[in-house]
Amino acid sequence: MKLSTYLTFDGNAREAFTFYQQVLGGELAVMSFGESPVAGDMPAEHHGRTMHACLTFDGQSLMASDSMPEGACGAERYEGIKGCSIALHPASVAEGERLFVALAEGGQVIMPMEKTFWAERFGMLTDRFGVSWMVNCEQA
């Protein structure tokens, strides 16, 4: 079994995932609603929004889409990403600090990277796209 994270944005999924590719590396595939087989069922102003994005790196997948128009397929009004965090477990403190600084750019640091009783370094942030991240560099 494989577990993947799927995020929903409100019109900036492509921008967010282009940024995540710069920070995390990997390969990015993006399809807009306008490029999809359901383009004719979507309002024209929705065609440029992301139907599906997938960033694959280190054997992992991070996926996303932009929200559907309210009422389409039972979609409700977009209220942001909340109630969860993406946890990264880099192999080194140096890599953890690099990831933390890059993801925090334009966002908000919740807990700076620091030594904790369970990890050599741990930090929490919300990036500029509203996604919550935890960077955990476990002790050797």
CATH of the domain at 38: 3.10.180.10
- In this prediction, residue 1 carries a pLDDT of 84
| pLDDT tier for residue 70 given thresholds of 50, 70 and 90 | low
Residue 132 · residue 86 · CB < 8 Å = yes
In a domain, 80, yes or no: no
- Rounded to whole angstroms, the Cα distance separating 92 from 112 reads 17
If you average pLDDT over residues 51-60, what whole number do you get? 95
- In this prediction, residue 90 carries a pLDDT of 95
* φ, ψ (nearest 5 deg) of residue 46: -95, -10
Specify whether 69 is located in the same domain as 92. Answer: no
Place of tokens 């640091």: 109
Specify whether 112 is located in the same domain as 134. Answer: yes
Number of domains in the chain: 2
| pLDDT tier for residue 75 given thresholds of 50, 70 and 90 | low
- In this prediction, residue 85 carries a pLDDT of 96
The pTM for the full model equals 0.90
> Which range of residues forms the domain containing residue 128?
86-138
Q: Which amino acid is at 14?
A: R
If you average pLDDT over residues 117-139, what whole number do you get? 95
Specify whether 70 is located in the same domain as 43. Answer: yes
